[in-house]
Structure formats: structure tokens, C-alpha cells
Structure 1
């Protein structure tokens, strides 16, 4: 009797399958950030002993990154990318100044530093002519309307992300490459951090401390969550497979109060551990994309997308592993 159960791959298995038999040299920018470090974990797992010779991570300065299997990767300054002695055939661009740096730097310095980073990557694409380019974008990068220069001071993060999309896709096409751009909405999973910035990380931290879990949103707030490793692995698979595309990340739509209850349940807390000040007059906050393209790509790749409770569990385990 044959087993008719559909094959379902983990992100690590999908990436190993996508890169099997290839000899890519892979550059990863933002290698010490969330997406970049998860990419380094996955690539080292997929490529095994060959990883140190085929994967080069870049960040703001020389660093060392301990990947998930315990090996140490040497990280180079981003400025070294353009003159890299071996041209990468695949470029994974995850470097970008976080939104909260705007308050610290001011808009002008934030824009200047961001453009410098983008220019470096554009130069690297022109010099090395990679066949595949993956660029992590954001749900904030909605299509531009009106005068871009007028919008930029008020919404620098989203505007610069959108300009990155346009410029890096055009640069990749100029050298004959395939460009995949995931627009990231809300994520969880391995290496989740920054509870002061990311709601899920904050809720997990409060739950691990025994509660209460305070929901900051006073009105309805809706999000969609998927795994960071799912986005990275699927984007690389799509690029290798020739799917030149921009897609919104997917996930079941969840209201933040519901998310808090899922976190509470996963940590063995009672429903009354969730605290919230409710304002019935507050407008709804809906940060949700159209995940149908990602879902379709995942189905083609046979990638298993974890349900919310499993993703919360994985996120909590990642936090616990670092304590």
C-alpha cells in the first residue's frame, strides 16, 4: 500500500533541497540581525562543512556570529561586499536600519545612513551580477502616492523600504538576475528578541515571568504571524526556482487580545492572566497583508507553514534557549 500523505517540508529541509547540487557563493547582509542570523543558521545547516567557504555574512563591522549548530561565522563589514574577491552568485539582503533608530538619529541622519547602505548593495549587484537576489521588505512599504520627497520626512521607514524595493529589483533585472522580495508583516520563531519592540516577544517575556500579560493596544489590533525561517527558506527557494516576485507574508489573522490568550495558554497561565485597558472608541489597527501569493508559493514548495500556537511555542523555546 502506498502512502498518499502529501510531503510537507520544514524550512531547513526545503532549503537543503533548494541548494542541493548547487555551488552558489552566498552573501548575507544584515547577518547579525534577526533575519540575517536565521538565514546564516539555515545556510550552515543546509551546506554543512562547505558553509564557511560558500557563505559570507556582512554587518556594520567585523563580528563573530555563533550559528545554531555551534559553529562560529566570521562577519565582515558591509563595505567589503563590493570588493569581495569571490563574486556571490546569490545575495540575501537583510540589512536595514530599524524603525526605532529614527528617534535616536533624527530623520536626516536616518535617511542618509539608509541610502548609503542601499547604494553599497546596488554597487555590489552591478559588480558581482548575482543570479538570485532576495530583499526583505516590510508591510510598511506600500506603493508610493503623491510627492515622495514630501512623504519621506513623515514616513521615512516605509518610504525608504519602498524605494529599496524599486531600486534593488531594477538593479537585479539589469544584470539578468531573479529578485524575490518578501514584504514582512508580523513574524515569530527562532531568534525572536526585542520585547520592547515586538509584541509577541513582549508577551512571551511577560508570560515566562508568570504574568500578567499586558496588551498594549487599547482598541482592536489585527496582525498575521508566520515564521521567520519560513520566509527566509521560501524566498531562497523562490529565487532559485525562478519565481521573480514580491509577496506579502501570510498567517491567520489574529487580534492582539487573542494572541495574548494563545501565549497565556502555551505557558500554562489562566485566561485572567491577560490584562487590557479597552477603549471602545479607539480606531481599528489592521496591519495585515494579502498572504495568498506566499501561501501559493509554499504549496508549490511543499513547505509546511506552522499554525499560530506552534509558532508561539517555537518562539518561546527560542527565548528560553537564550536565558
Structure 2
């Protein structure tokens, strides 16, 4: 597909992470009017290349190199993804983890207020909500990742408003995808890796565990198209509701092998997932067809190098 582009730039921070990779892949597929590889500016923490496959290797610059007077001329859009994820909190002290994320938020605010993009996309997380009350997290000690995401939402929204840019904030609750890294910190990745190692799936909860999963490529395409359109909104990711036992059965069915066992101990329903359908409506309005759960599983198995029978 040939896409009409212009000379203005689109910056993606955290470009070598999972969400950045999915975003760039959609750009290379020609999904966005006015955005191509030629006007992308990609940032990473260490300046390493983004490798989509053997034929698509894209350079990045260090995010720190864009500080101070190193402005970006003709910045049209800014997709901010740079953040230390929840699993990284185990690698740092509490104060270092919080301060490093605050520094990334500060860099994003500086870029917005200095370079004045027309639109901004920020990816937040369902972890911004307290797991028990489903209210916005207010305790940084209990949930440093979620609270830092709350700070990020508030400050980047303020920066965007200050310069008159529109901003779309997407809260990702559960993700799948063609470029999903093999990472045990992601629940579905851990699920697949355990299955690869043992050929079986053990569900430790005796009660229903309900989740909603969204293809991350779809998620990023919807957010970016919404921002380009001029929307100002905060939206939770969506996806079909699925119980983990049903997800396990789907995994077994598409691989053609394996077994499932489950605890017989009764336990309460675990239904930590977003309740609304706004994301589905937004996807429809910007013309993005969403992958169903079967397609999501197949795409994620591909990223984890698992053979399927479909």
C-alpha cells in the first residue's frame, strides 16, 4: 500500500519495546495517512536498532539526546511509550524505580512543551486501577508502577493542553500480539511458555478467572488513528471476555496437543478486567477491524515460535 507522506515528523519513544515494535510494524504496513518510515523518528533508552525482521532494521536515537536545546523541527505527532514496566520494579530500589520513571515522564513533558506536536498518544495501564476497588491508585508504595502511570497521565495531559495539542491516552489491560516478546512477566506469555516446557497447563485457581485481551497492534493503530483525527480521550483496552480455562482449551486446540489441570479448591471469581465497550466503538469509528481471541492466540503463538495445526 502506498501512503501519502509529508515532511513533518512523528516521534515514537520506547520504540524498541513491544508496543513500539507493534506501532512501527503498522506504519510499515501503510496503516496511517501521512506516516511512513521516512518521517519516523524512533527513540530508545540505549540507541540500539529496532529489528522487525531480517529485512527491516531501523535506527533509533537515545531519548536523552533530545533534551535541552536539541529540539525536533516540524514535529507533528508524538507517541510516548518509554517507561519502566511493572516487572522492572524488582530490578531497582523503590526510589530508583520511581525516579527513573519520573525522569522519563519529564522528558516527554519537555518534548511536548518545547516541540509542540499537533497530537500525542500515551499508553497507560490497567494497573493504574487498584485491583480490589477498581478505583484510580493513590498509594505509590503499594503500587509504584500504577501510581507512576497516574502521574504520567496527569502531567502529559497537562502538557498537551498547555500547547493546544490533542491527546489520546490508552490504558492497556491485557495484550497479545504478533511481536509479543517471550517474557514471563506477561501473563499470557507465561501461560504459553509453561505449556511449551511441560506440554500441560495448570490453573491454580479453582474459581473463574476472567480477562479481556486485545491485540496490541490493533490497540496502537486505534490510538494513533484516533489522535490523528483530533480526538481527546482516555480509553481502556477491550477485547472479548474469556475465562482462563477456556483460553487453555483454545491453546490446546490450535496446537493439537497438551493437557489441562485445575485446582479443585473453591475460590472467589477473579474478574480484574475493564468493563466498558468504548474501545470497540472507537476502533469501529476509525476503521480498525479487531482480531478475535482465536486469531490473537494464533498470532501470539507465532511470536513464541509455537507450531499450530491451523
Instruction: Identify whether the pair has TM-score above 0.5, normalized to the shorter chain.
Output: yes
Work out whether residues 29 and 58 of structure 1, in 8 Å CA contact, stay in contact via their aligned partners in 2. Answer: yes
Map residues 121-200 of structure 1 onto 2, 5 A cutoff: 121-142=108-129, 148=138, 151-200=139-188
Unaligned runs of 5+ in 1: 1-12
User: 1:209 & 1:220 partners in 2: Cα distance?
Assistant: 25
**Cα deviation, residue 62, structure 1:** 1.4
**Cα deviation, residue 253, structure 1:** 1.1
Q: Is 1:279 matched with 2:297?
A: no
User: 1:76 & 1:283 partners in 2: Cα distance?
Assistant: 48
**Cα deviation, residue 217, structure 1:** 4.1
Partner of 2:216: 228
What do residues 94-121 of structure 1 show as CA deviations (whole Å, max 9, x unaligned)?
Answer: 1110111212212111111110110011
Map residues 14-93 of structure 1 onto 2, 5 A cutoff: 20=4, 22-46=6-30, 51-68=36-53, 70-82=55-67, 83-93=70-80
Partner of 2:285: 300
Q: May I ask how many residue pairs the two structures share in their alignment?
A: 300
User: 2:102 & 2:5 partners in 1: Cα distance?
Assistant: 36
Unaligned runs of 5+ in 2: none
Q: Is 1:315 matched with 2:286?
A: no
User: 2:242 & 2:97 partners in 1: Cα distance?
Assistant: 32
Between Structure 1 and Structure 2, the one with more helix by share is: 1
SS at match of 2:301: helix
SS at match of 1:180: strand
Residue from 200, 204, 213 that aligns with 1:212: 200
Scaled by the length of structure 2, the TM-score of the pair is 0.88
Map residues 254-265 of structure 1 onto 2, 5 A cutoff: 254-265=242-253
User: 1:107 & 1:252 partners in 2: Cα distance?
Assistant: 35
Scaled by the length of structure 1, the TM-score of the pair is 0.85
